[in-house]
Amino acid sequence: MNWLERGWYRQHPFTLLFWPLSLLYRLVALIRRFGYQRGWFQSFAVEKPVVIVGNISVGGTGKTPFTLWLCKFLTEQGFTPGIVSRGYGARITEPVRVTSLHLACDVGDEPLLLASKSNCPVVVCPDRVAAAQYLLASTDCDIVISDDGLQHYRLKRDLELVLIDGQRGLGNQQLLPAGPLREPVSRLQSVDAVVVNSGDFDLAQYRMQLKAVKPLALDGQSQWPEKAVTLVAAIGNPQRFVDTVKSVGIEIKATAFFRDHFAFDENSLADIEGPVLMTEKDAVKCRTFAKPNWYYLPVEADLSDEFKFWLQQQLRQWRDE
């Protein structure tokens, strides 16, 4: 977390210096949303339902484990889901179907993880409309999940699901760059459901918990040593990773945290003492140069029964289409 992000969440007064820029950002965000609502900017529908998984703040809120849970739930309900994503950090201009042959630098770390764990087709492209059209044209997908797609209004949506970090909330509730918000807090009043991840949030209707499972070796062979580890993470909220590791009784001897989506290479981790324990999202970027004592900690999302029931009701409208 850099100094500016610390200010967002620890209520430092220096963030007020960015308040004029925040007002400009708010104006642009409101005009953009209003423009799509009024038809000034064109948005496009695709032939199958689109479910948005997103947030109104920058940084991690648990969207990736939630999306994996959602893929499994939709499949259990008789749907054939597919995922579209931007492919953060990848130089992509046309839709690309993610495969096991890709590297994180080719398609983005989160799409690569989603493709490897969801058993669903994943297509990446900055143009979500093009990605969704390609997905539907090239697969038998009958419902589209748009990962981190809340602000991509060119793609029309049928359901908006928003994740909130229950530990950090929305910080000082200011828009960028004075705070962490991409859109005003009032945007939550127009989405279909707000889900809080591991904590409390007044505007959330439903809860999600992240459950860790046994650490696994990046090389697929080494056994977990059950020794004190060095944590490595390049995620939006590394403190959540610390808390998760502690909750399963793993001792931490040191930490090495990098900016979100950091592109790891051998040199960036060369001086870090093992055994190393990292997030699963970071592990997909390190497999090609992983050492035998490098491990990752998988997590799984657990949604409340109330949310499952509510989602089943929403899905009824598409079940027989």
Dihedral angle, C-alpha 132, 64, 176, 285, nearest 10 °: -100
pLDDT band at residue 21 under the 50/70/90 scheme: very high
Instruction: Please compute the mean of the pLDDT values over residues 147-167 and round it to a whole number.
Output: 96
pLDDT band at residue 300 under the 50/70/90 scheme: very high
pLDDT band at residue 1 under the 50/70/90 scheme: low
DSSP state of 144: E
- The residue among 289 and 1 whose pLDDT is bigger is 289
- Determine the pLDDT at residue 91: 87
* Residue of 320, 321, 318 lying closest to 159 (CA atoms): 318
- Determine the pLDDT at residue 236: 84
CA 230 to CA 103: how far, in whole Å? 24
**What confidence tens digit (pLDDT) does each residue in 171-207 have?**
999 999 999 999 999 999 999 999 999 999 999 999 9
* Residue of 232, 117, 235 lying closest to 167 (CA atoms): 235
**What confidence tens digit (pLDDT) does each residue in 239-271 have?**
889 999 999 999 999 999 998 889 899 899 989
pLDDT band at residue 161 under the 50/70/90 scheme: very high
Instruction: Using the predicted structure, report yes or no on whether residue 2 has a pLDDT greater than 80.
Output: no
Instruction: Using the predicted structure, report yes or no on whether residue 28 has a pLDDT greater than 90.
Output: yes
**What confidence tens digit (pLDDT) does each residue in 76-135 have?**
999 999 999 998 888 899 999 999 889 999 999 999 999 999 999 999 999 999 999 999
Residue that the structure tokens 């969704």 belong to: 132
- The number of angstroms, rounded, from the C-alpha of 39 to the middle of its chain's C-alpha atoms is 29
High-pLDDT (> 90) share of the chain, %: 80
CB 246 within 8 A of CB 201: no
Residue 317 CB partners (closer than 8 Å, separation 6+): none
We find that the CATH architecture of domain 3-209+302-319 is: 3-Layer(aba) Sandwich (3.40)
- Determine the pLDDT at residue 6: 78
pTM for the full predicted model: 0.94
